[in-house]
Structure 1
Amino acid sequence: MNSTIVSEFILLGFPMAPHLRIFSLCLILLSYTFTVMGNLVIIYLVFSDTRLHFPMYYFLCNLAVMDICFINTVVPGMLKGFLHQGVHISLGSCLTQFFVYFLVGTAEFFLFAVMSFDRYLAICHPLRYPMVMHRYMCIQLIAGLWLGSFSTIVLPCVLTFKLKFCNNLIDNFFCDASPLLKNSCTDTTMIELLSLLGASTLYISVLVTLISYFKIVLATLKIKAGDGRGKAFSTCSSHAIVVTLIYSSCIFLYAKPAKGQGANLNKKVAILNTVVVPLLNPFIYTLRNQTVRRSLSDILLSYSKTRKSHVK
């Protein structure tokens, strides 16, 4: 095949009118700012307040780190695309983005399953919880989910890195699997099969999460106090919204063959797990928590008193 092997790609992003481009830029930039700030606040609170030195908050802190990594992998390039139609990205940068995106994304699936199991133990087996979910177990689980993520994606990524690419146009706002493989000069069947096999981990994560929340709901129904039951259902329903968004969008995008999907629809769905879910995570999973809110208000109050004393 007489094709030029490319060393740089052009991300086409979202074709739209100039006024819509500016509006989208402002909206995404605002979401990006709130996401980063919200997650940084969570990380600071967990490290600085001993009241948050418990397994659930360690997992939430890890989720905050993941969301910061995840959104910084994709969104800066998206913002650049709103300013300039057709963003140039080197082959090395594109493949690095591809690797980090799937590494963090897969780790987050595992983390959602771990967090749901943690809540199941805490609510359904409160007496056994301290013995099972101790600090060493938390470290093992966090290390295990990162290792599991790396093991799941490493082989498809290595094979993708070895591909030769003949087309330099990527009809997306980041280096996603489907548009990247479409640009290859060589056969990608093996990579697609391995990717589908890796996507089975998504179903395992979904299954663990669903079973855990189902058992939590059954336990909640046994609560006699109306306020306690309403609070538990409120928490579960808000968590279910986030989990449904991320799982449904990722099943649509990745749990099927990469080729033959509509690019425009894929880009719109990808916004859910690259922008919307990282924005919702800190506010739904953490900042609605009473202990976290109390910790935040104490720090703000302390800062306010310190500032007033300096002024005097």
Structure 2
Amino acid sequence: MIPENISAITELALLGFSNHPQAEVPLFLLFSLTYLVNLFGNTAVIILVVMESSLQTPMYFFLCHLAFLNIFYTTAVVPKMLFNLLASRKVISYTLCLAQTYISLFMGAAECILLAIMALDRYVAVCHPLRYLLIMNRSVCAQLAAGAWTISFFASVVPLCVTMAPLCGPYVVDHIFCEVPVLLRMVCSDTSLQEVMMVVGAAGTLLLPFLLIALSYLHILVAVARMRSAEGRRKAFSTCSSHLTVVTVYYGTGMFMYMRPKALSSAEGDKVISLFYAVINPALNPLIYSLRNKDMKRASKRLLEKWALTHRQKAQP
């Protein structure tokens, strides 16, 4: 339920890395650079896919959704974190704290489901190559993307709204931003229901997509093992390696954060884990997909060549 005294809470202390004041300026520079890489890299992915016809395929369609998610997620979290690293008074408004909680839960669930859909896309591409474009047509892709966002909202935001409970002072968030496991420590009443809901939600948005990913790649491995061509096997592994890398990093940190018992959590450990999936991973994703993907490299080169040619033509009298 929604807390009755919500209007009485105007702001909370957001400690961040205040326990390590000597590290705040270096961390500000590091996270500022990471955030810029995230914005530039994910925006570049979206621009490339939109402008290059060769990249307008199902895989890159879902990659665009992932890039947008990365930008939105970190923008809800990182700017306030950066501001507090340099501020003497480290606080966050109650409204923004709730917004970060809902957004982080929503975006986290959406990313899990999108990664599962991308695994399904790779399964169809490798196991049913001749029917790939027929199965993964534009209508199906649009429905899958819409379903991912819709299911994520109703599986994460709605249960949190229903089970929201009043917070007790002192209103101190010993974390880098507001998210569910951290706020549960500040709830006045018994948090058993919220913890059960968190585990059930995590099972639905973390475990089920993970099982779908595992099943997809099991079929892919069987299909690759049956291939007679070494070049075919190499190409199949190449198209899946970037996705597998992203899945491993994201699911590893996400499952450890949301599916472990409350007794095993610690403030400092939570901060490090959250940095990985909320700050570092979104910046790494476009790098992983671009550096390990020949299509992205070729599209980037063609787009730069077009831009240079256009610029030279305009410069000529």
For 1:169, the equivalent position in structure 2 comes to: 172
Cα distance, 1:165 vs. partner? 3.4
For 2:60, the equivalent position in structure 1 comes to: 57
Name structure 2 gaps, 5 residues minimum.
Answer: none
Helix, strand or coil: the match of 1:20?
helix
Cα distance, 1:61 vs. partner? 0.6
Report if the CA contact (8 A) 1:6-1:167 is conserved: no
For 1:156, the equivalent position in structure 2 comes to: 159
Cα distance, 1:53 vs. partner? 2.0
TM-score by structure 1 length? 0.91
For 2:218, the equivalent position in structure 1 comes to: 214
CA distance in 1, matches of 2:158, 2:314: 57
Cα distance, 1:57 vs. partner? 1.2
For 2:266, the equivalent position in structure 1 comes to: 262
Paired-residue identity, %: 37
Cα distance, 1:190 vs. partner? 1.7
For 1:252, the equivalent position in structure 2 comes to: 256
Select 2:207's aligned residue among 188, 203, 212. Answer: 203
Residue 140 of structure 1 aligns to which amino acid in structure 2?
Answer: Q
In terms of mean alpha carbon deviation, does 143-152 or 293-302 score higher? Answer: 293-302
For 1:194, the equivalent position in structure 2 comes to: 197
Helix, strand or coil: the match of 1:218?
helix
- RMSD (Å) for aligned C-alpha atoms: 2.2
User: Cα deviations across residues 136-163 of structure 1 (Å, max 9, x unaligned)?
Assistant: 1111100101111011113332145452
Select 1:305's aligned residue among 290, 305, 309. Answer: 309
Select 2:107's aligned residue among 95, 104, 107. Answer: 104
Write out aligned runs for 1:117-156 (5 A): 117-156=120-159
**Paired residues, number:** 310
Residue 65 of structure 1 aligns to which amino acid in structure 2?
Answer: F
Report if the CA contact (8 A) 1:32-1:279 is conserved: yes
Runs of 4+ in 1 over 4 A off after TM superposition: 16-19, 257-260
For 2:77, the equivalent position in structure 1 comes to: 74
Residue 52 of structure 2 aligns to which amino acid in structure 1?
Answer: D
In terms of mean alpha carbon deviation, does 27-36 or 125-134 score higher? Answer: 125-134
Cα distance, 1:230 vs. partner? 3.6
In terms of mean alpha carbon deviation, does 244-253 or 218-227 score higher? Answer: 218-227
In terms of mean alpha carbon deviation, does 58-67 or 128-137 score higher? Answer: 128-137
CA distance in 1, matches of 2:267, 2:165: 24
Helix, strand or coil: the match of 2:129?
coil
The 3 A distance-change label for structure 1 pair 235 and 22 is farther
The 3 A distance-change label for structure 1 pair 53 and 217 is same
User: Cα deviations across residues 242-270 of structure 1 (Å, max 9, x unaligned)?
Assistant: 21111111111111344662111111111
CA distance in 2, matches of 1:129, 1:237: 19
Report if the CA contact (8 A) 2:174-2:267 is conserved: yes
For 1:290, the equivalent position in structure 2 comes to: 294
